[in-house]
C-alpha cells in the first residue's frame, strides 16, 4: 500500500513539475517574442493583396511598445497610435488602428497569421475581403 501511495505521489510530482517547466518555457518564449517585437522600429517591406501597396507604407516606421500600443511614425512624428497583440500558441499578431487613422494604416488592422519570422523580419498573411493579403515587416 505504501508503495502505491509513493508511486502515485511521485507521478503527481513529475506531472506537476512538467507543467511548471512548460509554463516557464511559455513565459520565456512570450518574453523573448515581446522583446523582439518592441526592440527597434519596423518598416513594411511588402503589402500585397494582388496589388502592391508597399509604396503607401514607405513614409512610415512602426514602434511597437510593451504596453501593447504601436506608433506609426512619419517624418519623425507619431501620426497615429494603434494597438497590437500576439498569440504565441496560434502564431498570430493582431493590429488595430483607430477609425480616424490614415486608411493606409487601417490596412494593417486584423489578425495576421505568422508564416515565417526571425529576429529582424516577419512574414504574415490574412484574408481581407476575400483576398489573401501578404505583409512583411523588417527591422530598421
Q: Give tens-digit pLDDT for 87-115.
A: 888 899 999 999 999 999 999 999 999 99
Judgement on whether residues 98 and 113 belong to the same structural domain of the protein: yes
Burial class (CB in 10 A: 0-12, 13-18, 19+), 81: middle
Are the C-beta atoms of residues 127 and 111 closer than 8 Å to each other? no
Encode pLDDT of 40-78 as tens digits. Answer: 999 999 999 999 999 999 999 999 999 999 999 999 999
Per mean pLDDT, which range of 20-29, 52-61, 74-83 is the poorest? 20-29
Cα 12 → chain centroid: 35
Residue 113 shares a structural domain with residue 53: yes
Domain check: are 34 and 57 in the same one? no
Residues 6+ apart with CB under 8 A from 134: 46, 47, 48, 49, 123, 124, 125
Distance between start and end Cα atoms, the chain: 65
Q: What CATH number does residue 124 fall under?
A: 2.40.128.270
Spatial distance between the Cα atoms of 114 and 120, rounded to a whole number of angstroms: 14
Residue 35 pLDDT > 70: yes
Sign of CA dihedral 107, 113, 115, 120: positive
Structural domain of 29: 1-39
Amino acid at each position: 500500500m505504501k508503495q502505491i501511495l509513493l508511486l502515485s505521489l511521485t507521478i503527481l510530482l513529475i506531472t506537476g513539475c512538467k507543467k511548471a517547466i512548460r509554463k516557464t518555457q511559455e513565459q520565456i518564449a512570450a518574453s523573448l517574442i515581446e522583446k523582439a517585437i518592441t526592440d527597434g522600429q519596423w518598416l513594411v517591406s511588402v503589402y500585397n493583396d494582388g496589388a502592391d501597396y508597399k509604396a503607401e507604407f514607405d513614409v512610415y516606421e512602426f514602434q511597437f511598445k510593451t504596453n501593447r500600443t504601436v506608433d506609426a511614425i512619419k517624418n519623425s512624428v507619431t501620426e497615429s497610435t494603434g494597438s497590437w497583440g500576439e498569440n504565441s500558441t496560434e502564431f498570430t499578431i493582431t493590429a488595430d488602428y483607430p477609425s480616424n487613422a490614415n486608411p493606409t494604416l487601417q490596412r494593417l488592422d486584423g489578425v495576421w497569421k505568422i508564416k515565417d519570422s526571425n529576429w529582424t523580419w516577419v512574414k504574415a498573411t490574412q484574408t481581407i475581403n476575400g483576398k489573401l493579403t501578404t505583409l512583411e515587416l523588417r527591422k530598421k
